[in-house]
Amino acid sequence: MSNIQRLILIGKSNQIEARLDQVAHSFGAALETYSEPSDGIASWKSAMPDYIFIAVKSLAEFKSIENQIEKSLGLYSDQVDRNKIAIFTEKVSDFPEILQSPIVGARIPVESLDQDQSVKILSAVIRISCAGVNGDFSNALYGCDNILSNKIHHSSGKALLIDETRRFLLENQFKSRITSLIINAVDELIMNAIFDAPVDELGKQVHSTLPRNSKLELLGKNSVLVKMGFKDNLFGISVIDQHGSLSQKELIKHIGMRYRTQDYTVQETRASAGLGLSTVFELGANLFFISEQQVRTEVIALFQNYSNYGKFKNQFKIFAPFFYF
């Protein structure tokens, strides 16, 4: 029996409501839909829902809703937890500014919401959110009973892990061209965990300036755990570091830049900033970041398998960060 009982949608969209109805049904939960933001916020204020979705068609509409939330709940109150709030946006160009809001957690695209896997991905967002600091890969790739785990104790172990990932994808019928794209994304995430995540007691990166082909012993907290699995035509990979140094501010900044220009390259100047996010996003990943500050960061990428390269590149994909301080 799911402990997820109540979801709220603020904003009117038949397409979004239909998809969220499916999500709610999968949990045995109720979906409350409010076309008038004030009514939805009042319901939210009366009893905290398990998860909140806000659908807007413009930046002005979002700002209006944000102002109403500020007046009724307070932007930084206990009832406003960005780990439990997602925004549906129709205009990608609006998202960089929306993302700066203290009420926004996940960004969900409307443009590809009709794709089959969107229900699975939306459900994963809710499961991770409701698990709180214990949210992890098992919540994202729910029901997968064949999760492979490998811990990397030396930087040279990345090559072996990449080879194993390639074999895993091909065994699960991913096309060779798509497999190569996913491998590029996996490589980016592992390299970040090895070279950008480790910090000293002052929070300063210790490996970020080293050449990426450096041979490093990854002892103690510097070891990297990688998990992968395949369920319902969805491949997932998780990369976990034990530093929890991912900067929420820098992550949001870089993601915002990604939505402003296709040519932006992430700069590796701050703790865990060098995520290669532009590459990973371009490769069609759904990205989840679960960071317990100074303890651990888990980055999860989910990819739907398609025989058609164009469909793979344009698949439903979200950005969902979860930070715990």
- The pLDDT tens digits for 78-102 are 999 999 999 998 877 787 889 889 9
3-state secondary structure of 87: strand
Whether the pLDDT of residue 43 is over 90: the answer is yes
Check pLDDT > 50 for residue 7.
yes
Residue 265 has a pLDDT of: 36
| CATH number of the structural domain 146-324 | 3.30.565.10
90-98 CB contacts, 8 Å cutoff, 24+ apart: 90/56, 90/57, 90/58, 91/57, 91/58, 91/59, 92/259, 93/259, 93/260, 94/56, 94/58, 94/59, 94/62, 95/256, 95/259, 96/256, 96/257, 96/259, 96/260, 97/59, 97/256, 98/56, 98/59, 98/62
Q: What's the pLDDT tens digit per position in 210-262?
A: 999 999 999 999 999 999 999 999 999 999 999 999 999 888 877 776 666 54
Domain 6-114 has CATH 3.40.50.2300: yes
Lowest mean pLDDT among 13-27, 66-80, 104-118, 163-177: 104-118
Domain residue limits, the chain = 6-114, 146-324
Q: pTM, whole model, 2 decimals?
A: 0.93
